[in-house]
Structure 1
Amino acid sequence: MTARSRAQSFDLAAAQYAASRPSYPAALFDRIEEFAGCRLAGARVADVGAGPGIASVLLRERGADVIAVEPGEAMAGEFHRALPGVPVVRGDGNALPLAEASRDLITYAQAWQWTDPCRSVPEALRVLRAGGALAIWWNTTAFDVPWIGEQHERIAHHCGVKPRSAARPSDSEAIRLAGLAGLRVERRQVRWSRTVSLDMHLANIGSRSAFLVLEEADRQAFFIHERERMGRMFPSGEVEETYVVDLLVALRP
């Protein structure tokens, strides 16, 4: 299964993604403002790979002037429902449908890994004004929470993917992997948590690309057993999910 196929799979579960995926903590946007050297209020922001608008909602709440870039038709529909007054243009980070030097900030929430940095980095630099910033981030696994680490191993085994290491990459390695070497880059991790129903927890897992590309029978086989396991672990039916947001902010010269 190609990376492109996995990226496109999200459009098949747009409503599920919108309803179950976690948001982001306020501290994340504080760090973006700090590193970008400007307030989000009034900033011209392009939210690329915006999906159903999870990050765009928060950027708007901070007063940003947001335009979304989203390749998926169903995801764009979910975005319009969440933010009916915010423009959405169809496209992706490898060929941004935006004018040169037109944005103060470009954001990628959970979406940078679906781009080719050899194309997406020059595109970001083209669209950013001088001194503008590119912010990319992910809600990553809190491996130090035992049950979360164990669940991660089960998911990787079932989906036939290699489990990620519990050790987070060094700053220099993270910058290299993101394709941002040569730019001035700041990195921070922001820890946060949310409490959700078991149903929402499982729906969140099911909205990941590793599951979306599986056959229906394979998906159901995992969730039947996982629901039983998690039900014993959380008899109240409420699950506290812990995340570590990994943020990289690169400044345009």
Structure 2
Amino acid sequence: MTSRSRAMSFNAAADRYAAYRPSYPSELFDAVEELTRIPLAGARVADVGAGTGISTEQLVARGADVIAVEPGEGMAAWFRKTLPDVPLVRGDANALPLADGCRDLLTYAQSWHWTDPQRSVPEALRVLRPGGSLVIWWNTTAHDVPWIAEQTERITRHTGATSPTLSPLGDPDAVRKAGLEGLRIGRRHLRWSRTVPLDTHLGNLASHSGFLVMDDAATEAFLDAERERLRLLFPDERVVETYVVDLWVASSS
């Protein structure tokens, strides 16, 4: 299964993605302002790989002037339905349909790993104005929570897909793997959690590409078994999901 096939698998599940995926803590956007030294209120932002608009909506709420960039037809259709007043253009990070020097910030929420940094980094630097920043973040699962670590291992065995791992701050190898060598880097880890119904937790799992490209019966069998395991841990069927946001800010100066 190619990386592009996994990336495009979300288009058939935009409703699940919008319904079950977590958003981001307000502290994330405070950290973005601190590390970039750019207030979000009034900032010209391109949210690249915007998907159903989870991050876009939060950026708009902070007063940013946002244009969304999304390659997928299904995700774009959902975005237009839920955020009709936000401009959206079809395209991807490797060939941004945006003018030179037109944005203060380019944000990539859960989307940078789908790009080719040899193309997406020069594109980002082209579109950013002098002094602007490339801002990347992921909700990574907190593998120091035992039940989450065990569940992650089961998912990897079942789907063959690995979830993003949280590298130490200042790790030069992580910078290389992200394709950001030669840029000025700032990073922050932000731990947070949400408590959701068991069905929402399972829906969140099923919205990930590893399951979306699998046979429906295999996915349902895994989720049924997972439901029984989690009922033992969470008898009230309220699951505490713990995340660590891995935030990267990169600029050329």
Shared fold (TM-score, shorter chain, > 0.5): yes
Identity %: 62
**CA RMSD after TM alignment:** 1.4
Contact 2:13 2:207 (8 Å CA) reproduced = yes
- 1:1-253 matches, within 5 Å, as 1-161=1-161, 168=168, 170-253=170-253
One-letter amino acid matched to 2:190 = V
For 1:26 and 1:164, the matched residues in 2 are separated by 22
Contact 1:7 1:209 (8 Å CA) reproduced = yes
Between 73-82 and 243-252, the greater mean CA deviation after superposition:
73-82
TM-score (norm 1): 0.97
Deviation at 1:170, TM superposition (A): 4.9
Deviations 1:23-61 (Å, cap 9, x if unpaired)? 001111111111111100000000000001000111001
TM-score (norm 2): 0.97
For 1:23 and 1:220, the matched residues in 2 are separated by 25
For 1:169 and 1:104, the matched residues in 2 are separated by 25
For 1:111 and 1:96, the matched residues in 2 are separated by 14
Aligned residue for 2:92, secondary structure, equals coil
One-letter amino acid matched to 1:32 = V
Deviation at 1:171, TM superposition (A): 2.8
One-letter amino acid matched to 2:159 = C
For 1:252 and 1:16, the matched residues in 2 are separated by 37
For 1:166 and 1:108, the matched residues in 2 are separated by 17
Between 171-180 and 159-168, the greater mean CA deviation after superposition:
159-168
Deviation at 1:15, TM superposition (A): 0.5
One-letter amino acid matched to 1:135 = V
Between 88-97 and 71-80, the greater mean CA deviation after superposition:
71-80
One-letter amino acid matched to 1:141 = T
**Structure 2 unaligned runs (5+)?**
none
